[in-house]
Amino acid sequence: MSSNRRSRNITEGVARAPNRSMYYAMGYQEGDFRKPMVGVANGHSTITPCNSGLQRLADAAVEGLKAAGANPQIFGTPTISDGMAMGTEGMKYSLVSREVISDCVETCVGGQWMDGVMVIGGCDKNMPGGMMGMLRANVPAIYIYGGTILPGKYKGQDLNIVSVFEAVGQFSAGKMSEEDFCEIERRAIPGSGSCGGMYTANTMSSSFEALGMSLPYSSTMANVEDEVVGNVKQAAAVLVDAVKADLKPRDIVTKEAIENAVAVIMATGGSTNAVLHYLAIAHAAEVDWTIDDFERLRRKVPVICDLKPSGRYLAIDLHRAGGIPAVMKELLKHGLLHGDCMTITGRTVAQNLAEVPELRADQDVIRPVTDPLYAEGHLAILKGNLSPEGCVAKITGLKNPVITGPARVFDDEQSALAAIMAGKIQAGDVMVLRYLGPKGGPGMPEMLAPTGALIGQGLGESVGLITDGRFSGGTWGMVVGHVAPEAHAGGTIALVHEGDSITIDAHRLLLQLNVSDEEIARRRAAWTAPPPRYTRGVLAKFFKNASSASTGAVLDRLE
């Protein structure tokens, strides 16, 4: 056992007799105090299908760690369900839960002097929250993704959660029968596992393989399949080896590793949330990374995976086509990954990929770099007088990459959704959803309800939507999120009047309010910040401490 065994701080020496005595109650025997103590951050929860299949993984983790000669210590991490909270006040707690999870991991690992930790999660924020906690604690660690969900089935159609959000728009526009609407609602989510497209959960899990912090093939497994249990057992042995080698997360999560992760996110068409989360992950890792780094990578890395929301396939189809290793092998072959990055396996990216077969000819989920879906990445950083700090848009596959139109201004999500459902939003409009940022929301909620309804009504290509809030990984269309500075911080988005002309230009990466500087200055002089929506509890803490979306909306930026 390497000299770095941190747990000796709580278990060795005469003075630690009272501390040790507590461990005997946990079944420790004399010899156990020389073994590494490894935490298992168990995200199991019956709140949501994303996390309802995790207990058997936590049980396998305990078994695997004991077999590898470690003392496992299970502790819980919470989750909320983005899919259940979407469109409600509850969605304000979604990004907050990222911070709560990272605090849980950091607190338990630090408080108990753990020698290593395995974090097991499912829903969207579990992954970034777990990674941030692992990086802050910086003891040998591995991430276990609970696994994606299988598709629901109806009338020969593969269904997933985004099918239901889009059905709301179709049904409200009279484009779907009530029977179909109700059947889609009932059948879209067939069991446990995280949302099935390349939405936020699968985006973050896939990127962790590229980051080097989870095992090859693990990020696209289906939760209901037995292979996820085998992955946990293998991960337990790998983690104990990493503890012995003192291989810590910050030895792995370097700037080059983050570039690998972002390259895979671009190649797979991943969620806009990845921008926010990798700004936060880089901050936790003390890696020098800014919002402009995404644009540098976007220009280099093509979209080579045909995945929902804007493509055809689900994460399970990607798994069956070769998984993230197949994507990484294709990118490495074309010099789009750093092959020398160390990974949790103790081997480099290139060594991990050496045995991975070339792209199979019998699949069309993953395309060769030489014949991509889109020659450049999809996650673009737009700037302009509406978002001088930068904001995020998915810009591939847009029929109308440039839109200039009258602003339709809403200071909350519910009134915007009501306007869409009532048919009050027309083609050519640019919806402005504001006071939904990190402070204004607070909690920077995701806007899948309005964007899904626009798609369902067939307005996804003709109506622009900008917000200082976020989007779900299931969002696509002419939508721009993370506008910064946010309205509550006095950003220009707060000064937009109904009917103002706004331009969203995906070619020039521009988000512009077409009003004179003098008029904007006059409006700014007259603007005052509204009072905080919450004055107690986690939302008040988030309001007080959250940094701008352009720096990850983190709570521990001291400068």
Q: Smallest gap, in angstroms, from Cβ of residue 456 to ligand XAI?
A: 15
Considering only residues 171 through 230, tell me which ones interact with Mg ion, judged by CB under 5 A: 200
179 in a known ligand binding site: no
At residue 374, the 3 state secondary structure works out as: strand
- The reply to whether 50 sits in an annotated binding site is yes
Q: Which of 77/451 has CB closer to ligand XAI?
A: 451
CB of 108 to ligand XAI, least distance (A): 26
Which residues neighbour 105 within 8 Å (Cβ) at sequence distance 6 or greater?
A: 39, 41, 77, 117, 119, 129, 130, 132, 133, 134, 136, 137
82 binding ligand XAI? (CB under 6 A): yes
Task: Report d(CA 92, CA 100) in Å as an integer.
Answer: 13
Which one-letter amino acid corresponds to residue 488? H
Part in contact with ligand XAI (CB under 6 A); list of ranges 82-90, 298-306, 375-383, 404-412: 82-90
Using omega within 30 degrees of 0 as the cis cutoff, is the peptide bond preceding 485 cis? yes
Angstrom distance (rounded) from CA 479 to CA 169: 16
Q: Contact between 500 and ligand XAI (CB under 6 A)?
A: no
Cα 233 to chain center, whole Å? 25
> Distances from the Cα of 458 to the Cαs of 7, 345, 401, in angstroms?
58, 47, 16
Contacts with ligand XAI by CB under 6 A: the residue count is: 17
Only segment of 11-19, 119-127, 305-313, 323-331 that touches Mg ion (CB under 5 A): 119-127
Q: Is 95 in the site for Mg ion (CB under 5 A)?
A: no
**Residues in region 240-279 near ligand XAI by CB under 6 A:** 271, 273
| 83 interface partner picked from Mg ion, ligand XAI, none, CB below 5 to 8 A per type | ligand XAI
The listed partner (ligand XAI, Mg ion, none) that binds 64, CB under 5 to 8 Å by sort, is none
- Interface region with ligand XAI, contact rule CB under 6 A, candidates 80-88, 262-270, 317-325, 456-464: 80-88
The interface partner of residue 161, options being Mg ion, ligand XAI, none and the CB cut-off 5 to 8 Å by kind, is ligand XAI
Q: Please, what is the minimum distance in Å from the beta carbon of residue 451 to ligand XAI?
A: 11
Point out which span in 79-87, 148-156, 185-193, 451-459 binds ligand XAI (CB under 6 A).
79-87
Task: List residues bridging with 433 in a β-sheet.
Answer: 410, 467
To the question of whether residue 227 is assigned a binding role by annotation, the answer is no
Given 99, 106, 124, 413, the residue binding ligand XAI (CB under 6 A): 124
Distance CA 189, CA 316 (A): 14
Told to judge if 472 belongs to the known catalytic residues of this protein, a careful annotator would answer yes
Site for Mg ion in 71-90 (CB under 5 A): 82
Contacts of 138 (CB under 8 A, 6+ apart): 248, 249, 250
Interaction with Mg ion in 420-479: which residues (CB under 5 A)?
Answer: 472
Query: What's the per-residue H, E or C state across 67-89?
Result: HCCCEEEEEECCCCCHHHHCCCH
Say which of 172, 472, 548, 550 is annotated catalytic: 472
- Residue closer to ligand XAI, measured from CB, 81 or 503: 81
Establish if 474 lies at the interface with ligand XAI (CB under 6 A): yes
Using alpha carbons, list the distances in angstroms from residue 167 to 83, 161, 195, 491. 14, 10, 16, 34
Residue with Cβ nearer Mg ion (73 or 205): 205
Note whether 274 and 379 are within 8 A (CB): yes
Query: Which has the closest alpha carbon to 105: 125, 88, 89, 124?
Result: 125
Nearer to ligand XAI, 114 or 265 (CB): 265
The verdict on whether omega for the bond into residue 450 sits within 30 degrees of 0, i.e. cis, is no
For residues 177 and 142, the answer to whether their CB atoms sit within 8 Å is no
State in angstroms the smallest separation of the CB of 94 from Mg ion. Answer: 6
Any known ligand binding at 124? yes
User: What CA–CA distance (Å, rounded) separates 461 from 234?
Assistant: 45
Closest CA to 193 of 122, 92, 116, 264: 122
Applying CB under 6 A, which part among 52-60, 343-351, 428-436, 470-478 lies near ligand XAI? Answer: 470-478
Q: For ligand XAI, which is the closer residue by CB, 270 or 322?
A: 270
Cβ proximity to ligand XAI: between 446 and 500 the closer is 446
| Smaller CB separation from ligand XAI, 33 or 208 | 208
User: What Å distances lie between residue 501 and 194, 281, 420, 486, CA to CA?
Assistant: 39, 36, 19, 19
**Which residue type, as a one-letter code, is found at position 487?**
A
Backbone φ, ψ for residue 481 (5° rounding): -120, 180
- What is the phi-psi region of residue 276: left when phi exceeds 0, alpha when psi lies from -120 to 50, beta otherwise? alpha
The encoded tokens of residue 387 equal: 């978002």
Asked if residues 373 and 396 have their Cβ atoms less than 8 Å apart, the reply is: yes
Nearer to ligand XAI, 199 or 435 (CB): 199
Question: Would the annotation count 391 as a binding residue?
Answer: no
158 binds, among Mg ion, ligand XAI, none (CB under 5 to 8 A by kind): none
Phi, psi of 258 (to 5 degrees): -65, -35
Residue of 253, 279, 281, 308 lying closest to 381 (CA atoms): 279
Of residues 106, 124, 293, 295, which one binds Mg ion by CB under 5 A?
124
Residues 161-200 within binding reach of ligand XAI (CB under 6 A): 161-162, 195, 199-200
Cα separation, 384 vs 430, whole angstroms: 16
Closer residue to ligand XAI, CB minimum distance, 161 or 409: 161
**126 near ligand XAI (CB under 6 A):** no
Q: Is position 108 annotated in a ligand binding site?
A: yes
Note whether 79 and 97 are within 8 A (CB).
yes
Mind telling me the catalytic residues?
472
Which residues bind to ligand XAI, rule: CB under 6 A?
Answer: 82-83, 86, 124, 161-162, 195, 199-201, 271, 273, 446, 448, 472-474
Which residues bind to Mg ion, rule: CB under 5 A?
Answer: 82, 124, 200, 472
Summarize the annotated binding site as residue ranges: 50, 82, 108, 124-125, 446
Summarize the annotated binding site for Mg(2+) as residue ranges: 82, 124-125, 446
